[in-house]
Amino acid sequence: MNHYPHPKFAKEGWLYIASSCGLALAVLFLTNLIAALPFILVAIFVLQFFRDPPRQIPEDADAILSPADGRIICVEKAFDEYQKVEALKISVFMNVFNVHSNRSPVDGEVLDVQYFAGKFVNADFDKASTENERNAVVVKMNNGQNITFVQVAGLVARRILCYVKAGAILKRGERYGFIRFGSRVDLYLPLDATPLVTIGQKVKATETILARIGSHG
């Protein structure tokens, strides 16, 4: 497990948490509970949005783990524009109530990181994969095969954060980024990968196995 210094709340949320909780307490102190209630509800929402609980990593070397919490909205053959190959695409949609910390689905070396400015259409739409702001990470797995996972901004998401660069070594379940306020993550896997999830299924980052892939060759 990757130990970072905020085991319960993401560091990206510290300012928001402090501000919302401080404002709620100030209004409560200066007025009354009824007047402060809207501010308290906002503070509770901010706390739940930026929660970042620890996760158990499955002991399965061939497993492709979910990079995010959310709901499966796509399992299909598609073109990976970042590697220019046909691939198995699996997409996870995150609403504002999901944990938004993004974690590596595999062990491997980062070959490339590509950022694209774009629109902010609803991340539940297929066109969001190619039209929205997004950040793609291409990783060479320890078995020699490559996969791509892409952070995609959504309708209200306005900030994609990615903390890895080419040459970095990622471990399964390691936290590599964050997307604020609703979004999706697309994975592009080799065509021989076996999907283990279905449309509409709810998944959890790191703990849910999305697919399984064997060694190259």
Taking the C-alpha atoms of residue 29 and residue 74, their distance in angstroms, rounded to an integer, is 48
Q: Are 44 and 21 in contact (CB under 8 A)?
A: no
Question: Of the candidates 134, 88, 137, which has an alpha carbon nearest to the alpha carbon of residue 108?
Answer: 137
Sheet of 175-179: strand order equals 101-103, 175-179, 160-162
Q: Are 191 and 51 in contact (CB under 8 A)?
A: no
Q: Are 28 and 77 in contact (CB under 8 A)?
A: no
Task: Please say if 183 is a catalytic residue.
Answer: yes
Roughly what angle, to the nearest 10 degrees, separates helices 33-49 and 14-30? 170
Q: CA separation (Å) from 167 to 113, 143, 173, 176? A: 10, 17, 18, 14
Q: Which of 101, 104, 183, 215 is catalytic?
A: 183
Catalytic residues: 183
